């Protein structure tokens, strides 16, 4: 049973109130009391009655209504359409959607099966990984630096102290960005349990105690994220391997870490552990960063090898064993042993338990929900956002998708444009990309022109004595318009947004080359690379325009 309070406009006398009350009470499952003096209706109704039916019944009698309270909770002060939105998940996409949906006048119910809220990014992903990566980078700077007058020294690493600081910051951000929002917004309710669709308008939530709660809503948003994949390697299921979660929160540094995987999570954690003192061996099924421009993977592999990270390309584990606290990974007849094993070979969507077929929601590629640019699924009233969908698996994409989904669920019209989506891999040097690679553009039938500028041509890189890496720009040869950028550089993540804005605003490489860039900065490398489309930058003076 749901309890609502509606504000009703258009009543001019007690007879109007009776007329409105009768209209509401004619609806099956609805019991209403309407007060002319309060200009309000107090309603008890079955939870499966759509709120829209209340508004329609009153509109048919010449009245307008808006929702003031639902189950004792106040709704946003803004004009409300009275809709109820159920969001499955409590990560970045889910919370962005919840906040925006409330702004649009809806009440929101969040459903979460985990013990804590906040999803992957703040708890076991972006935040703790970047803290760990930064501490490892500082340790490496103590161990090796490029300046002749600064003595190197072996860092003293207290892993437990580092972990305590990391965990404290994670807790702080979860409280500030998630728990406090939930506590301070009466229009958002949290339900604990595992969600499963009964049909496209009904959700069954199995609570931790085994009981069930039925949730019906006008719109649903699926924002359940993803989880680490476990490849079908014989023996792997029987050994205590790490996923990224265990790796980020391990209390000790292994002597030898074996990594199965070669993409973002694998390379970031592998380098961090090497810099914190582990020997590291990486098993790459093809090569590092196989989905990116080959030059990026080649450059990163070279950087890893300089740090004595062993990279084995074209390698797959055929078996994993665990004896006397030692992992033994068999590859092509060779056996590699280590005291920790990280499995980082992708993140499939968390959709298996949702019974999406009952809701008519289409999935592909192991459960990824198919969405359009408005986050609509194949079910009319079901939306989806973030890692559980066919969208790129980045937290800022999930948050942007959640916001736009909420706008669309509350009557608006918002699309998500991913044509200028930046991506950053936080290795050292960093890898950053936006738009199309040269290969992608060629496959799309675009007449491509590209230039690559080594960092030895960037004055700031020379001043830093850090010249390993490059800037590559990809242009449409017919229009000279910039359509892609790939950067391998120590500060690539800080450089890429300038290329994002250039692509978003349809700039040509000439227009990019003509912009003023501050000297000495790494981002000036974009200007210099753009200039190489027209001239030899080695013949320019410093900071030449």
Domain boundary among 321, 343, 365: 343
Range of the domain at 475: 423-539
Exposure string over 330-347, b if 16+ CB within 10 A, otherwise e: bbeeeebebbbbbbbbbb
Whether residue 221 sits in one domain with residue 247 = no
Question: What was the pLDDT predicted at 79?
Answer: 40
Span 346-368, pLDDT tens digits:
999 999 999 999 999 999 999 99
Whether residue 488 sits in one domain with residue 472 = yes
Confidence category of residue 39, pLDDT binned at 50, 70, 90: confident
Alpha carbon distances (Å) from 232 to 236, 319, 348: 7, 10, 14
pLDDT averaged over the chain? 95
- 431 is written with which tokens? 């890898």
Instruction: Give the pairing of strands 202-206 and 212-216.
Output: antiparallel
Helix axes 264-275, 294-306, angle to 10 degrees: 20
Span 226-269, pLDDT tens digits:
999 999 999 999 999 999 999 999 999 999 999 999 999 999 99
The mean pLDDT value for 152-174 works out to 98
Structurally, the chain folds into a number of domains equal to 4
Any idea what the CATH number is for the domain that residue 200 is in? 3.50.50.60
Whether residue 34 sits in one domain with residue 111 = no
Q: How far is Cα 539 from Cα 545, in angstroms, rounded to an integer?
A: 12
Alpha carbon distances (Å) from 267 to 120, 137, 431: 18, 14, 11
Whether residue 116 sits in one domain with residue 217 = yes
- 424 is written with which tokens? 């950053």
The backbone region for 277, taken as left when phi is positive above 0, alpha when psi lies in -120 to 50, beta otherwise, is left
Question: What was the pLDDT predicted at 537?
Answer: 85
pTM value surpassing 0.75: yes
Whether residue 129 sits in one domain with residue 24 = no
């Amino acid at each position: 049973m749901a309890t609502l309070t509606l504000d009703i406009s258009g009543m001019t006398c007690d007879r109007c109130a009776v007329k409105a009350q009768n209209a509401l009470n004619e609806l099956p499952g609805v019991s209403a009391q309407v007060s002319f003096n309060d200009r309000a209706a107090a309603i008890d109704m079955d939870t499966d009655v759509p709120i829209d039916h209340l508004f329609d019944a009153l509109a048919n009698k010449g009245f307008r209504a808006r929702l003031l309270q639902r189950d004792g909770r106040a709704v946003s002060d803004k004009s409300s359409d009275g809709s109820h939105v159920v969001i499955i998940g409590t990560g970045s996409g889910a919370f962005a959607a919840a906040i925006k949906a409330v702004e649009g006048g809806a009440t929101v119910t969040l459903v979460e099966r985990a013990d804590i809220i906040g999803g992957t990014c703040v708890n076991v992903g972006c935040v703790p990984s970047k803290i760990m990566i930064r501490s490892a980078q500082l340790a490496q700077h103590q161990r090796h630096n490029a300046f002749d007058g600064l003595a190197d020294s072996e860092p003293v690493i207290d892993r437990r102290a580092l972990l305590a600081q990391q965990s404290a910051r994670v807790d702080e951000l979860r409280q500030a960005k998630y728990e406090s929002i939930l506590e301070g917004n009466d229009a958002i309710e949290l339900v604990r349990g595992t969600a499963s669709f009964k049909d496209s308008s009904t959700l069954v939530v199995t609570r931790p105690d085994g009981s069930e709660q039925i949730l019906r809503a006008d719109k649903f948003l699926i924002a359940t994220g993803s989880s680490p994949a476990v490849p079908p390697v014989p023996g792997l299921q029987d050994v205590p391997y790490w996923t990224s979660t265990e790796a980020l929160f391990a209390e000790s540094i292994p002597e030898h870490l074996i990594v199965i995987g070669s993409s973002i999570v694998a390379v970031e954690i592998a380098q961090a552990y090497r810099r914190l003192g582990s020997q590291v061996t990486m098993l790459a099924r093809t090569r590092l960063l196989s989905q990116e421009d080959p030059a990026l993977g080649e450059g990163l592999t070279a950087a890893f090898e300089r740090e004595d990270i062993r990279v084995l390309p074209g390698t797959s584990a055929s078996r994993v064993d665990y004896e006397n606290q030692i992992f033994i990974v068999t590859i092509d007849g060779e056996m590699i042993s280590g005291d920790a094993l990280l499995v980082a070979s992708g993140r499939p969507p968390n959709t298996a338990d949702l019974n999406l077929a009952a809701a008519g929601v289409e999935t592909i590629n192991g459960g990824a929900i198919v969405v359009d640019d408005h986050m609509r699924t194949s079910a009319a009233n079901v939306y989806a956002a973030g890692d559980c969908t066919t969208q790129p698996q980045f937290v800022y994409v999930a948050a942007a998708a959640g916001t736009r989904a909420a706008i669309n669920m509350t009557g608006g019209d918002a699309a998500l444009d991913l044509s200028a989506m930046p991506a950053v891999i936080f290795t050292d040097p960093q890898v950053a990309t936006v738009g199309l690679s040269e290969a992608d553009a060629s496959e799309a039938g675009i007449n491509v022109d590209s230039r690559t500028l080594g960092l030895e041509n960037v004055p700031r890189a020379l001043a830093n004595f850090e010249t390993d890496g490059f800037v590559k720009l990809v242009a449409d040869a017919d229009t000279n318009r910039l359509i892609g950028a790939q950067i391998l550089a120590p500060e690539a993540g800080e450089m890429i947004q300038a290329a994002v804005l250039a692509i978003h605003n349809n700039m040509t490489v000439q227009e990019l080359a003509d912009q003023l860039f501050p000297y000495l900065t790494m981002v000036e490398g974009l200007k210099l690379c753009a200039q190489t489309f027209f001239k030899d930058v080695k013949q320019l003076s410093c900071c030449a325009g």
